[in-house]
């Protein structure tokens, strides 16, 4: 589980910290939450999913941008999802952060050190921020993707297993098999 450093910390104080390449530092309810930098399987899946989403965005001419590991401001802090799909105009104006109200999709790729946070804490924070889609990719024991859609303040998940191809129409058309994200 990620480490917690009590505070209270502010967004401004966290953003003023020096860049830490070995850890991700997030802010939740005034406390710092750190997790180690992702490993190779995680990075491979993230890069491949971001590339797949980029192709789908281009094909649909959707007015969004796909970004990896950016600071997203939520009501209770500052989170760093693995991938975000954000309004293109907001992304063009963004500096160190992106506001949650400009984010359409957040994707977390569960690592051993973030599994509990990605399953329990982050969905609640993203839902409270009003982000319409929360996707969680779990790599072990086999790739599976939980596609969450915000309904009445909580995410309703649909599970896609490795070997299944899913077709999504929102926020833009895309289809893929989670297994494609991890194969060498």
Residue 97 belongs to a domain: yes
DSSP conformational letter for 77: E
Given a contact cutoff of 8 angstroms between Cβ atoms, the answer to whether 178 and 145 are in contact is: yes
User: Could you give the number of structural domains in the chain?
Assistant: 1
- Arithmetic mean of pLDDT, 113-129: 85
pLDDT in tens, 48-93: 999 999 999 999 999 999 999 999 999 989 999 999 999 999 999 9
Residue 6 belongs to a domain: no
Structure tokens at 182: 């991890």
Residue 31 belongs to a domain: no
What is the bridge-based pairing of β-strands 144-151 and 154-161? antiparallel
pLDDT in tens, 128-147: 999 999 999 999 888 999 99
The CATH number of the domain where 126 resides is what?
3.90.1570.10
Residue 149 belongs to a domain: yes
Structure tokens at 40: 């190779």
Q: Got the DSSP string for 78-96?
A: EE--SEEEEEHHHHHH-SS
The mean pLDDT of the chain is: 90
Beta-ladder partners of 157: 148
Residue 21 belongs to a domain: no
Query: 117 lies in which domain range?
Result: 38-181
- Arithmetic mean of pLDDT, 120-134: 94
Residue 58 belongs to a domain: yes
pLDDT for res 1 = 39
Task: Give the pLDDT band of residue 13 (cuts 50, 70, 90).
Answer: very high
Residue 9 belongs to a domain: no
């Amino acid at each position: 589980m990620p480490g917690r450093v009590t505070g209270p910390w502010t967004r401004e104080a966290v953003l003023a910290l020096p860049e830490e390449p070995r850890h991700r530092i997030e802010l939740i309810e005034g406390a710092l939450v750190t997790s180690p930098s992702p490993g190779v399987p995680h990075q491979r899946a993230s890069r491949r999913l971001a590339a797949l989403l980029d192709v789908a965005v281009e094909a649909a001419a959707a007015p969004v941008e796909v970004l990896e590991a950016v600071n997203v401001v939520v009501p209770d802090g500052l989170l760093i999802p693995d991938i975000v799909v954000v309004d293109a105009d907001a992304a063009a104006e963004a500096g160190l952060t992106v506001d949650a109200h400009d984010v359409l999709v957040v994707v977390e790729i569960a690592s051993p050190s973030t599994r509990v946070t990605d399953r329990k804490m982050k969905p609640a924070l993203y839902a409270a921020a009003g982000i319409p889609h929360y996707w969680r990719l779990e790599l072990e024991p086999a790739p599976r993707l939980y596609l969450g859609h915000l309904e009445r303040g909580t995410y309703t998940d649909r599970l896609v297993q490795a070997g299944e191809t899913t077709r999504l129409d929102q926020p833009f058309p895309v289809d893929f098999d989670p297994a494609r994200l991890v194969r060498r």
